[in-house]
Amino acid sequence: KSVNDKDPAIALAELRERVKRDDSLLRSCHALVHEVGRASYEKYRDFGEAMKYEDEICNSGYLHGVIEAHFSKAPDVFAAIKTVCDPYLPETFLSWECYHGIGHGVMYYTSNDLPRSLGMCDSYDSDFARATCANGVFMENFNSDQKLHPSKFLKSDDPFYPCAEQATRHKRDCYLYAPAYYLGLKENDYVGALKWCDGAEVPYKSACAQGVGSQAIKENINNPKFVEEICASNELTQRAPCIDGMVRLYINHHGSLAPAKILCGQLKPSNRQTCYFSVQSNSGLFTN
């Protein structure tokens, strides 16, 4: 009802608060958010518009619902993905959200077949589409609900798996999202996650630290100072990428640069330059 009367963000925020108090609701949360996604698509009849409200609460159930509703009548789902993002101006925020959502969606429809999903992303003509779609694939893999949507490409005794065996062009995104799985195994151990990142392949340690910053702010969206302290907890070389991850997620969460600019002014002076640089590097998505 909240979706139809207001917008999906209201429904998702309400559910987020209720699951904190109701364990039984938490257990059925994925299915409920799935229905919110379906209702959102039915309301807007536009994939990109519905995707603006993307929220990973309850293992991306919202996204799955939007994808399912959009493709429910398509005779060939995998042919349909080729054109669904065409209406959005290339390399803008909405275009990024769309191709990222397709990455999640192909994982959903291939039952988390990671190599097949990456192959489908590679079928796009542009580098932007291929890379953004692959980004969504890895996010879905590392956030996958192992009961409802199990993935064979996760190992609890090696949370970096399967990053080491990926093609070079995919390794950075793999290491970027691996911390989501680590923190699923060791809840709230953000400081430990940064230390764990030391074990990543050398060129991708910073990607891992960025992923910790992103995951930490996602789970503490109203407490950026707490996340800033996490970013400063381990090696100095990890601080900047961790802050960068925090800022990028903050921009994505709000769908705007303005709140992130305010955030930068609230950080310690030593971290502000990194923060403003992150804002500037994302400005191209919002140029139009």
Q: What pLDDT digit, counting tens, does each position of 142-184 carry?
A: 988 777 778 999 999 999 999 999 999 999 999 999 999 999 9
Cβ atoms < 10 Å from Cβ of 237:
12
Which pLDDT band, with edges at 50, 70 and 90, does 2 fall under?
low
Torsion angle of the four alpha carbons 261, 274, 212, 218, in this order, in degrees rounded to the nearest 10: 0
Per the model's pLDDT, the better-predicted residue between 25 and 236 turns out to be: 236
pTM summary value? 0.86
CB 155 within 8 A of CB 181: no
pLDDT in tens, 252-276: 888 889 999 999 999 999 999 999 9
Mean predicted confidence (pLDDT) in 15-20: 81
Nearest residue to 31 (alpha-carbon basis) of 4, 5, 60, 52? 60
Q: Give the angle 49-51-53 at the CA atoms, nearest 5°.
A: 95
pLDDT in tens, 199-222: 999 999 999 999 999 999 988 888
pLDDT in tens, 30-74: 878 888 998 999 999 888 888 888 877 786 788 878 887 887 767
Query: pLDDT value at position 149?
Result: 78
pLDDT at 26 > cutoff 80: no
Which pLDDT band, with edges at 50, 70 and 90, does 243 fall under?
very high
Q: Determine if the peptide bond prior to 162 is cis (ω within 30°).
A: yes
d(CA 133, CA 75): 22
CB 166 within 8 A of CB 174: yes
Which pLDDT band, with edges at 50, 70 and 90, does 1 fall under?
low
Q: Which residues contact 70 (CB under 8 A, 6 or more apart)?
A: 41, 47, 50, 84
